[in-house]
Amino acid sequence: MMALLVGAGFTSSPLPAVAYVARWQGLVGKRFATAIAFEQALGAQWPVRLVLIMALFGLLQCSMAIS
């Protein structure tokens, strides 16, 4: 039960954090608003690119069934 609660908290915690940093009204109609919000929150673009590269590696790992 504790693992479920911690997992749910970990999964749902980015939403309020990003909502606090970047108001959704300024992101409406923009492409890839999540990346824009991360960039505004961190003040740099390299962390956004790092997250995207790691996501690409994760997709490749899943598609190739590499563990």
Q: How many CA atoms lie within 13 A of 8 on its CB side?
A: 5
Q: The whole model's pTM is what?
A: 0.56
pLDDT at 34: 78
Measured distance CA(41)–CA(20) in Å, rounded: 9
pLDDT digits 0-9 by tens, 20-54: 877 777 778 888 887 888 888 888 889 888 888 98
Measured distance CA(38)–CA(21) in Å, rounded: 9
Say which residue the tokens 């790691």 belong to: 54
More confident residue, 18 or 55: 55
